[in-house]
Amino acid sequence: MILNSIITSEFSFWWLIVTVAISASLSFLLYRNDKYLKEVSKLVKYLLVGLRFLVLFFITFFLIKPFISSTKKEFFKPQLLILQDNSQSILLNKDSLYYKDDFIQKHQKLYEDLEKNDINYSVYSFSDTLVSNRKFKFNQKTTNISEALKQAIDLNIEHNIGGILLLSDGINNKGRDPYYLSKTLQVPIYTVGLGDTNSTSDVKIETIIINKIGFTEQQIPFSIDIASENIEESSATFSISENEKILFQKTININKSNFYQTIEKYLPSLPTGLHALEFKIDEQIGEYNIENNKQTVYINIVDSKQKILLLSSAPHPDIAAINSVLSKVSNIEFESYNIRNFKGQIEDYNLIILDQLPDKKNPISSILTKIKTNNTPVLSIVSNLTDLKHLNTLNADITFAHSLKKNEWLELEVNTEFSLFNLDDDLSEFLNQVPPIVAPMLKYKSENNNSILAYQKIKGIATEKPAILFTETENSKFGFILGEGLWKWKLFNFQNDGNFNQFTNLILKITQYLSIKTPKDAFIVDIKNQFEEYEAVEIHAQLYNSSLELVKNKEITFVYKDENKNEFKHSLSSKKSGYYTNLGMLKPGKYSYTISTKLKQKEISKSGFFVVVPSMLEHKQLTANHQLLKAISENTNGIYFDNDNWINIATTLKDNPHFKTKVYSTKSLSDLIHLKWILFLIVVLLSIEWFIRKYSGTI
């Protein structure tokens, strides 16, 4: 760090001549005819004049408003972030011994070269998250390159990130497509291609499509893709079984080296409960990887479906966007009608979606009355066409009115305190970035505290007005999206991530919350039926008294057993919105549980089950994707290295114009008059002058 300071002024320093002249003149005139100084030597007179001159000079000097201008220069050396893929796929090839030994030695050589060249660096390993780590075991179940890049940049945001060295096989099987993310990054990414780009002999179950929820007395549709590479002509048996009982079997004739076949069939109906189905295809001669020849899928057979109805008065792209999500969910029976064509019964549905209804032409008074009578939950998409007077008759504990009869464009700002359902970081980030929607200018009044999912952000400024909110009465639930244009969110999702996952997740979370009736019992337990092997098992619970008020600080115990009857016990912590515990990541298998507590000296308990599904993500694709790594480097002005020539990257970085020390200058101004030592100096000078005169007997 270098600090340079100079004294400057609001006025020209030519005024110093005037201040010197005034100070000298006044000092000379003060002592010229002083009758008490006639007996004093000239040296004392000159000393007294000099002291008075200095005092007057300092005082008059401040009249030209001097100040100190300081410039602080800070030097930040470039930092290299080394990100090592620590997933299983690195070892699932013929070079596994190389990666366990020689490759680790190459890392050590790299660190030595970087230190020799005076290059700062940090080392991380990653799978689905980033860890500061130099010990690589290559045993993780997933690979999320996008999340690793984001976390690395966020952790080092205060440093001068000169570049990222990404060592991976390019097999990305979780999260956002890193190709799209790399287009938005301002940091050069140097990639090293690991793994084997040559395809090995392999027959595998590529994709399984089967509903995780089925229904009694209904056949279960499934679709499966079987692929093979470098396998000679042969036949293989594909089967689906439960507890070694064959439910489906078919002989597959592999008739070419690169074979692909899709099977679309039905399984027979199954009884209610959880079923573990094993999908398997026979191992072939010469196969290196047989882990992808079989896969276990869990499905839950239940008795009924949720029925959701969407009513509108005119076609709208928002309807198509919602339909594209809800019509594909197995446990949802979704219907959409123009209001003039609807002849059904409101009481048959678990949720009604009103797209801009009621309006002036279609007040739908009778339907609104039936909704209230049957306590049917409602999701209302509100626009300027919506007749707010009739909408308010729903008695949803909130009333709306137009503040101005015109539209405005608004963005979203997610409410971090929202707790009706879980919003993960990816979904929150998605909502904060979605394109603006067209919204009516409304004012609203409510007697209760509503749950606001997202606030309105107008022209980049966050407000306290809701954009998406929920209310709940004693008998029903209501949701309001105050604007139209949801279809843009779906397109935005695909443009950024290459899929519709976040938009689908949002619509499903909203409709699931609204359509499921809130139990009136005192103890509500929220736990998923199925977790992936790499997911943390989380349990949420709420406890209510007879007035349906949330009860806190009670002892709640969660006991679960694995398939070997081993028992584990956890206590739930009391939180703002209820109770919570995290069991961490569990081994694959079926688990039973009992959760219990006491309320008014009465024992309350609930039992159930959940399954942890083994992750096969790292076994599905073993051919390294170096093209992705090359594209990431090209998008960020980085360089791609083969596994043979990356060890000398330190030399490459030193010659790279992007990898340079950055200098940040900070300028500050401070008035001299605020310096206390100057006042002290003036007092000292006056004291010395007084002391000399006193000593000389001139006062």
pLDDT of residue 222 exceeding 80: yes
Supply 207's token pair. 């994709």
CB burial class (10 A; 0-12, 13-18, 19+) of residue 260? exposed
Q: How far, in Å, CA of 336 to CA of 351, rounded? A: 12
pLDDT of residue 499 exceeding 70: yes
413, 393, 429: which is closest to 502 by C-alpha?
429
pTM for the predicted model, two decimal places: 0.57
Summarised one tens digit per residue, pLDDT across range 55-64 is 888 888 777 7
Does 229 share its domain with 321?
no
Does 502 share its domain with 354?
yes
Does 165 share its domain with 255?
no
- Decide which of 515, 544, 569 is a domain's last residue: 515
Structural domain boundaries, residue 240: 202-302
Query: What is the band of 81 on the pLDDT scale with cuts at 50, 70, 90?
Result: very high
In a domain, 196, yes or no: no
Does 532 share its domain with 507?
no
pLDDT of residue 522 exceeding 90: no
In a domain, 225, yes or no: yes
| Helix, strand, coil abundance in the chain, percent, nearest 5 | 30, 40, 35
CATH of the domain at 461: 3.40.50.880
Cα-based distances in Å from 204 to 141, 290, 294, 527: 18, 8, 8, 32
Using only C-alpha atoms, the chain has a radius of gyration, in whole angstroms, of 37
In a domain, 618, yes or no: no
Average the pLDDT over 556-574 and give the result: 92
Length of the chain: 699
pLDDT of residue 697 exceeding 70: no
Lowest-confidence range among 40-44, 49-53, 471-475, 644-648?
40-44
pLDDT of residue 660 exceeding 90: no
How confident is the model at residue 422, as a pLDDT?
73
In a domain, 192, yes or no: no
422, 525, 514: which is closest to 476 by C-alpha?
514
3-state secondary structure 275-288: EEEEEEECCCCCCC
Q: Which residue did the predictor score with more confidence, 671 or 495?
A: 495
DSSP string for 644-697:
TS-TTHHHHHHT-TTS--EEEEEEEEEEGGG-HHHHHHHHHHHHHHHHHHHHTT
Residue pair 402/388 in contact by the 8 Å Cβ criterion: yes
CATH of the domain at 138: 3.40.50.410
How confident is the model at residue 407, as a pLDDT?
83
Query: What is the band of 582 on the pLDDT scale with cuts at 50, 70, 90?
Result: very high
The mean pLDDT of the chain is 85
Average the pLDDT over 258-275 and give the result: 87
Does 348 share its domain with 447?
yes
- Decide which of 578, 612, 646 is a domain's last residue: 612
Does 537 share its domain with 390?
no
10, 1, 2: which is closest to 669 by C-alpha?
10
CATH of the domain at 600: 2.60.40.1930
In a domain, 440, yes or no: yes
How many Cβ atoms sit within 10 Å of the Cβ of residue 140? Answer: 23
Residue pair 632/623 in contact by the 8 Å Cβ criterion: no
370, 404, 504, 483: which is closest to 436 by C-alpha?
483
How confident is the model at residue 504, as a pLDDT?
92
Q: Which residue did the predictor score with more confidence, 490 or 292?
A: 490
Supply 77's token pair. 């050396």
Lowest-confidence range among 149-158, 463-472, 521-530, 570-579?
521-530
CATH of the domain at 274: 2.60.40.10
Looking at the DSSP bridge assignments, the partners of residue 567 are 561
Does 105 share its domain with 157?
yes
How confident is the model at residue 301, as a pLDDT?
82
Lowest-confidence range among 29-38, 180-189, 285-294, 672-681?
29-38
Does 376 share its domain with 500?
yes
In a domain, 561, yes or no: yes
Mark out the alpha helices in 254-396 (DSSP H runs).
317-326, 365-374, 388-391
Does 297 share its domain with 310?
no
How confident is the model at residue 623, as a pLDDT?
82
Contacts of 67 (CB under 8 A, 6+ apart): 7, 8, 9, 10, 669, 670, 671, 672
Q: Which residue did the predictor score with more confidence, 467 or 197?
A: 467
Does 425 share its domain with 492?
yes
Query: What is the band of 85 on the pLDDT scale with cuts at 50, 70, 90?
Result: very high
In a domain, 409, yes or no: yes
Looking at the DSSP bridge assignments, the partners of residue 409 are 438
Does 548 share its domain with 502?
no
Does 440 share its domain with 314?
yes
633, 659, 630: which is closest to 114 by C-alpha?
659
332, 354, 337, 503: which is closest to 427 by C-alpha?
503
User: Peptide bond before 188: cis, by omega within 30 degrees of 0?
Assistant: no
How confident is the model at residue 34, as a pLDDT?
66
- Decide which of 255, 280, 302 is a domain's last residue: 302
In a domain, 209, yes or no: yes
Total number of domains in the chain: 5
